[in-house]
């Protein structure tokens, strides 16, 4: 257990209100692809402020669809700092890994450097960073994002080097898809559907060791189990 994990557990065990900021790209933004159902940050909001009864906590989602990490760094004051957060959770990389579109191609080493900069800026503000790997995608139908595994590994690398709490969605999606595309969790080749967001929330909550008996935890588990059964994976 690293010191960040201990600090996160301490934050959740004390009554003083905490401010959580979730930032990233369209997956965290959570629009359209849940088709009117909850995104993973909304599930986590219910877990934190509902099930845990941490009503003094504030949960903010500052993600923007289509963004890359360099844009978040350029707009760090608005995306992160102005909210004076205690915990900052970042999920980014699905756009960064793309070799298509109008943006310059980003190499994994440059992405690592940006991640390191992000983590250190969060710490400079006195907040606790949490890094999340990207969920897996359907590479056959999104070949421009075929490097996503390299970018997920970059997130793991920086989390290990900087002692950051890591939520490894990419690994969990891979388990669901038997190493291939987790099609039952996607609304298109790379955006999670409502079940996919349930899995994201469950993986985050499980990683930070929220109690399994919480009503929303049980609901998320049932949602993921139902999707696995419908895909013939159990």
For 16-30, 134-148, 169-183, 212-226, which range has the lowest pLDDT when averaged over its residues? 169-183
Measured distance CA(225)–CA(227) in Å, rounded:
5
Model confidence at 229: pLDDT above 80: no
**pLDDT value of residue 92:** 98
Model confidence at 114: pLDDT above 90: yes
Residue 114, CA atoms < 13 Å, CB-side half-sphere: 20
Comparison of pLDDT for 7 and 101, the residue scoring more = 7
Residues forming a β-bridge with 24 = 91
**pLDDT value of residue 230:** 76
Do residues 18 and 87 lie in contact, with contact meaning Cβ atoms separated by under 8 Å? yes
Q: Could you tell me the pTM of the whole model? A: 0.95
Comparison of pLDDT for 176 and 122, the residue scoring more = 122
**pLDDT value of residue 35:** 77
CA nearest 112: which of 70, 74, 60, 144?
70
Measured distance CA(60)–CA(31) in Å, rounded:
15
């Amino acid at each position: 257990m690293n010191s960040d994990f201990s600090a996160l557990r301490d934050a959740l065990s004390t009554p003083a209100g905490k401010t959580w900021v979730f930032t990233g790209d369209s997956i965290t933004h959570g629009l359209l692809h849940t088709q009117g159902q909850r995104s993973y940050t909304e599930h986590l909001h219910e877990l934190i402020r509902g099930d845990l009864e941490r009503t003094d906590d504030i949960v903010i989602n500052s993600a923007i669809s289509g963004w890359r990490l360099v844009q978040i760094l350029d707009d760090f004051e608005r995306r992160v700092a102005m909210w004076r957060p205690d915990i900052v959770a970042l999920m980014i990389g699905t756009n960064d890994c793309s070799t298509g579109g109008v943006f310059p191609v980003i190499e994994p080493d440059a992405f690592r450097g940006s991640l390191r900069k992000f983590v250190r800026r969060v710490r400079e503000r006195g907040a606790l960073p949490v890094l999340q790997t990207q969920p897996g995608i359907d590479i056959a139908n999104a070949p421009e994002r075929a490097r996503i595994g390299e970018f997920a590994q970059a997130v793991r690398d920086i989390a290990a080097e900087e002692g950051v709490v890591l939520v490894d969605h990419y690994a969990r999606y891979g388990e669901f898809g038997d190493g291939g595309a987790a099609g039952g969790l996607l609304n298109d080749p790379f955006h999670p559907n409502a079940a996919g967001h349930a899995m994201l929330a469950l993986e985050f909550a499980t990683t930070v060791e929220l109690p399994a008996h919480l009503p929303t935890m049980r609901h998320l588990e049932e949602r993921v189990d139902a999707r696995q059964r419908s895909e013939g994976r159990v």
